[in-house]
Amino acid sequence: MSTRFSKDPRNERSLRHSIKDGVAYSVMMGSGESYFSAFAVLLKASTAQVGLLATFPPLLASFAQLLSSWLGRRTGRRKGIIVFGAGLQNLALLPLALLPLLFPAHAVPILIACAVLYHTGANLAAPQWGSLMGDIVPERRRGRYFGRRTRLCSITTFLALIFAGMALEVFDRNAFTVGGFLLIFAVAAIARAVSVYHLARMYDPPGHTAALESPFKGSLLRRLRGSSFARFSLFFAAMQFAVNISGPFFVVYMLRDLGFSYLEFTIMTGTSVLLQFLTLNRWGRLSDAFGNRYILLVTGLLIPFMPALWMFSTNYVYLLLLQAVGGLCWAGFSLSASNYLYDLIPSERRATQLAMHNVGASIGVFCGALLGGYIATHAPKEIFLFGEHYEWFSALYAAFLLSTLARFTVAALFLPRLREMRAVRKPNVSTLIFPTVRFQTPSWMSFDIVGARKSGKSVRDEIERKSSPEGQ
């Protein structure tokens, strides 16, 4: 990493280790977690079971974030909790692959149980990692740093996806698909071990004030009620609910209903990741220059269209283009939502409130998938429209349509209420979109932030004061 992001050499070394950790973690994601649902389909899981695998383990494990917040408050340490959680996730990978094969009569329940342990490790680490990174990444460099880190992670995930998909395709053609899954999950376990090493090398600044509040304190809950944090977390959880009415079932749709090979499925999945790689650096610069609210507005208005567009055609090229557009939108939405939280939450409350935010999001994911699974298995096989009977190509189309309507509802209710948490330049539409869609921009397109800026903390505190009951 040639660009320096911190003047403190210890923080700078930690940021470099964090990028290496992210790259190794992305290998695990691309060759491991991305294929959990495909593994479940191989094990003859039903549509409802695939939805349960994608949502129940993250929901149950998300409560480990509250435990993590409590441990951080009790011990005053972050790195030890982060490393332990990452190590637990690493240890869960091989049993996740082996046990369903050793006990095929109970393969899917065992897979779900192992996935709970896997996600528990990740959730133990998450709030403390977020607190640590919030302290060592300079505020004015946050968008660029996380944009670069996520960009490298995206291309690594893409390459790992391609490797894993090609491996599965080769093993599948030789009638040994199970061996392919064992190979890619073993690679994922090794990659997570490398990630754990780099996490252990990071510097945890002493004297931090993260996680000093219990998430169960009545005073904390009263302060959060009606706050900007509560509104944004409610928006994010509601959007996760709407997205996951359809989200977990695209794997079933591609592998079962469309009959994609593992290679076709991999290319389809990788296209979205590739577009994130191509645009994340630009999204990060836009975030630093113009704030996160406008990015959330633009991407939040485009995301609702995605599931309905899958119903228009089964043409492979059309779906690839759709995945590309989806990758572009989700790159901006995910990065800006993450940075918005960093701007929104003071350092001393970060671990606790991140844990609460993530638990809420996990509840939204689970409830959305539960509803989507019910709709997909109980929807009528045909609909009556304009005096004609139309038969669904797939029962999942009902979930896609409901997800579209739910996303539009959430966007309409919450997006107009978002406020920018920093003093930033106000972009017009061409300023926001044109630099994003161009992957390589000439030198005259570089951003030049002119004028003094109020600190993000002062703007955030002023907004919180005005939005709290005492400030009205």
Quick: pLDDT tens for 87-99.
Answer: 999 999 988 888 8
Asked if 423 and 454 count as a contact pair (C-beta separation under 8 A), the reply is yes
Q: Parse the chain into domains and list their residue ranges.
A: 14-199+226-440
Take residue 203 and report the two structure tokens written for it.
């510097």
> In this predicted structure, what is the pLDDT of residue 343?
79
Percent of residues, the chain, with pLDDT higher than 70: 81
> Which amino acid does the sequence have at 35?
Y
Asked if 337 and 296 count as a contact pair (C-beta separation under 8 A), the reply is yes
CATH number for region 14-199+226-440: 1.20.1250.20
pTM over the 0.95 mark: no
CA distance 244 to 365: 6
pLDDT in tens, 288-311: 777 788 889 889 999 999 999 999
Asked if 447 and 285 count as a contact pair (C-beta separation under 8 A), the reply is yes
> In this predicted structure, what is the pLDDT of residue 211?
43
Q: Is the pLDDT of residue 259 over 50?
A: yes
Percent of residues, the chain, with pLDDT higher than 90: 37
Long-range contacts, stretch 212-218, CB < 8 angstroms, 24+ apart:
212/73, 212/348, 212/352, 213/73, 213/348, 213/349, 213/352, 214/69, 214/70, 214/73, 214/352, 215/66, 215/69, 215/70, 215/352, 215/355, 215/356
Dihedral sign computed on CA atoms, order 360, 362, 365, 366 = negative
CA distance 346 to 210: 9
pLDDT in tens, 357-380: 888 898 999 999 899 989 988 877
Q: Which residue has the tokens 């989200």?
A: 247
